Amino acid sequence: MKSQHVICRTILILTLSLLPATAAVPSATYAAGPWYVAPNGNDSNSCASPSAPCATINGAIVKAMPGDILYIAAGTYTGSGSRVVQLDKSLNLSGGWDSDFALQTGLTTVDGQHQRVGVFIAFGVTARIEHFRVAAGYSGPTSMGGGIQDVGQDVTLQDCEVSNNDASYGGGGIAGPQRNGILRLNNSSVSGNTSDEDGGGIYSDGSLILNNSTVSGNRAGKTILSGLGRGGGIFATGPVYLYSSTISRNWTLFFRAGGVDRSQASGPLYARNSIIASNTAAGARSDYYGLITSGGHNLFGFTGGFIQYLPGPGDVVDVDAVLGPLQGSPGYQPLLPGSPAIDAGAPGGCVDDGSQPLPADQRGFPRFRACDIGAYELQPLGFTVKTSSVPAVRPRQSLTYLIALQNYGVADIPGVRVTDTLPILLTYTAGSLAVTGGNAQYADGVITWAGAIGAGQVISVTFGASVGSECGAIHNQAIISGGGETYTRTATVEVRYQTFLPVNSKGSPTAMGGQLGNPASGWPVVDNATYRMEYLNGKFLSW
């Protein structure tokens, strides 16, 4: 049955590559590019100037010659038929431009509307696609590649997001490249995609290269009984190269490799300064299947199972990467304070597949000190933490909170702001706010702080509060912004009810485990026959 599936998949890809272009070649001769596309354009325009753009990406592709560049305004582009974009020429698609085509600050969204493939890249094409979001694509009931079908020769995705696409066969996000083809992802993400079979995020038969990129939250497999669904993040039969990239929180219903599955591949995966962690298969930890050759300074969360691992210098293994949830667009998973990936990268700095320096992370924020492992670099202000003086209190008791604002960089950070809105179950203790620098104030249930933090400086913000009479968890959140970043730091305190019940003893308290009238409880022994016992969180406690 598996051999039949492989044959069908091969025939499918060959069929895709031989399909003719859906748009007829026009008889008119067009001027050389560049070409412009905007949602308010018209395909009957010349499309050769910002003032006369095409309305569709395909409309501009028809006019373009191989090697041309298309400038595409930010916005959402849909289509009809089986594909939104049919890229049958070697072109540069540059998206995310404002309406004047002066600034490239956003993303161009190709929306498959859960009915069609987002982007098809034809056989032999060399293309660069930048500042695109390919979303809500669907491969159809008999095809691979919901977001992108790539049978091209050499394709680069730069600052792109491939998210929330679905495929009936392999490659929920991307199917490709084909054998002997190359697909390179730079500063990009593949997230939230699903495939009924292998490769929830990416199914690759060619050379797959990730620089400063994230593959997260993808799923492979429809049912456990199907026996299919290898590689929640990536299923690859060809070479895979990871440079400063993060493969995390992908999963599969099958029992192998929630992260990367290369069970059908020859040769190893090569990883340098990358994270493969927190992936699962059939509910169990499973990051990788196959052979890994480490180029050094990687974090592998779990090296058990089906991994053949050739370690490199500075590798960190079998640990929690301490990653935050996926955020941003293109998506990334931030390192949280305490992550073993922080400052654990190659001492000589991060590099890409061409051995060129990567001075910035996936988002464009600078790498500094020893670079962090993975696609994300925790910025100097990100080392800020928030804590409470105790993890648990009784109703109506008081506690103290500390926000330690930390700048681990080599330059001052001006204009830092903190906002801490107290939950309804907390009451601020009047006059308790204290700081070691900057300006702080309390008003109407909100604590604010503003100021600059010098290089290497730590500024403390402390305040007291009392809890109410209700039990449960209180999550007190501070929002810290500065240096172009915004962080959320939370301290959680449990409010626990405690009930004291009279207990009649036939012996002395010592015979029943010692002095049950713990002075800390405020309930002393009444006499040698009757004393009180603490009941906390469903258990009787004794001392």
pLDDT digits (tens, 9 = 90+) for 411-431: 999 999 999 999 999 999 999
Q: What is the pLDDT of residue 264?
A: 87
Q: Which residues contact 99 (CB under 8 A, 6 or more apart)?
A: 38, 73
pLDDT digits (tens, 9 = 90+) for 188-221: 999 999 999 999 999 999 999 999 999 999 999 8
End-to-end CA distance of the chain: 65
Res. 118: pLDDT tops 60: yes
Could you tell me which of 55, 67, 71, 80 has the C-alpha nearest to residue 106?
71
**210: how many CB neighbours lie within 10 A of its CB?**
29
Q: Could you say which DSSP state residue 510 is in? A: G
pLDDT digits (tens, 9 = 90+) for 275-295: 999 999 887 888 998 899 999
Q: What is the pLDDT of residue 223?
A: 63
The mean pLDDT value for 431-447 works out to 97
As annotated, the residues of the chain forming the CATH 2.60.40.740 domain(s) are 382-495
Q: How far is CA 405 from CA 320, 449, 451, 474, in A?
A: 25, 10, 11, 22
Q: Which two tokens stand for residue 44?
A: 């009957």
pLDDT band at 255 (very low <50, low <70, confident <90, very high): low
Q: How far is CA 48 from CA 100, 102, 108, in A?
A: 14, 15, 19
Q: What is the 3-state secondary structure (H, E, C) of 360-373?
A: ECCCCCECCCCCCC
Could you tell me which of 266, 308, 267, 273 has the C-alpha nearest to residue 287?
308
The mean pLDDT value for 249-257 works out to 84
Q: Where are the beta strands (DSSP E) in 237-303?
A: 240-243, 246-248, 251-252, 260-261, 269-272, 275-277, 280-281, 284-285, 288-294, 299-300
Higher pLDDT among residues 518 and 323, named by residue: 323
Q: What is the pLDDT of residue 1?
A: 33
What CA–CA distance (Å, rounded) separates 306 from 291? Answer: 9
The mean pLDDT value for 21-37 works out to 58
pLDDT band at 353 (very low <50, low <70, confident <90, very high): very high
Res. 444: pLDDT tops 50: yes
| DSSP state string for 295-345 | -SS-EES---SSEEEE--TT-EESS---BPPPBTTTTB-PBPTT-TTTT-S
pLDDT digits (tens, 9 = 90+) for 478-519: 999 999 999 999 999 999 875 544 444 444 443 333 334 444
The mean pLDDT value for 75-94 works out to 97
Q: Which residues contact 69 (CB under 8 A, 6 or more apart)?
A: 33, 34, 35, 91, 92, 94
The mean pLDDT value for 159-187 works out to 96
Res. 20: pLDDT tops 70: no
Q: What is the 3-state secondary structure (H, E, C) of 13-51?
A: HHHHHHCCCCCCCCCCCCCCCCEEECCCCCCCCCCCCCC
Q: What is the pLDDT of residue 7?
A: 29
Q: Which residues contact 252 (CB under 8 A, 6 or more apart)?
A: 200, 219, 220, 221, 229, 230, 231, 232, 258, 261, 280, 281, 282, 286
pLDDT band at 302 (very low <50, low <70, confident <90, very high): confident
Q: How far is CA 378 from CA 186, 213, 341, 363, in A?
A: 19, 15, 10, 11
The mean pLDDT value for 161-186 works out to 96
Q: What is the pLDDT of residue 222?
A: 76
Q: Which residues contact 302 (CB under 8 A, 6 or more apart)?
A: 277, 285, 286, 287, 318
Domain 382-495 has CATH 2.60.40.740: yes
Q: What is the pLDDT of residue 30?
A: 53
Q: Which two tokens stand for residue 17?
A: 């590559």
Q: What is the pLDDT of residue 507?
A: 43
Taking a C-beta distance cutoff of 8 angstroms, is the pair 82, 115 a contact? no
What CA–CA distance (Å, rounded) separates 406 from 420? Answer: 17
The mean pLDDT value for 61-78 works out to 97
CATH H superfamily, domain 2-23+30-317: Single-stranded right-handed beta-helix, Pectin lyase-like (2.160.20.10)
Phi, psi of 519 (to 5 degrees): -55, -30
As annotated, the residues of the chain forming the CATH 2.160.20.10 domain(s) are 2-23+30-317
Res. 141: pLDDT tops 50: yes
Res. 525: pLDDT tops 50: no
| DSSP state string for 514-536 | S--S-GGGT----SSSEEEEEEE
Q: Which two tokens stand for residue 359?
A: 């001075």
Q: What is the pLDDT of residue 517?
A: 42
What CA–CA distance (Å, rounded) separates 363 from 378? Answer: 11
Q: What is the pLDDT of residue 499?
A: 52
What CA–CA distance (Å, rounded) separates 419 from 427? Answer: 16
Q: What is the pLDDT of residue 8?
A: 34
Percent of the chain at pLDDT > 90 equals: 75
Helical H segments across 367-510, by residue range: none
pLDDT band at 12 (very low <50, low <70, confident <90, very high): very low
Q: Any idea of the CA torsion for 157, 287, 323, 129, to the nearest 10 degrees? A: 0
Residue 117: exposure state from Cβ atoms within 10 A (0-12, 13-18, ≥19): buried
Taking a C-beta distance cutoff of 8 angstroms, is the pair 280, 364 a contact? no
What CA–CA distance (Å, rounded) separates 55 from 533? Answer: 76
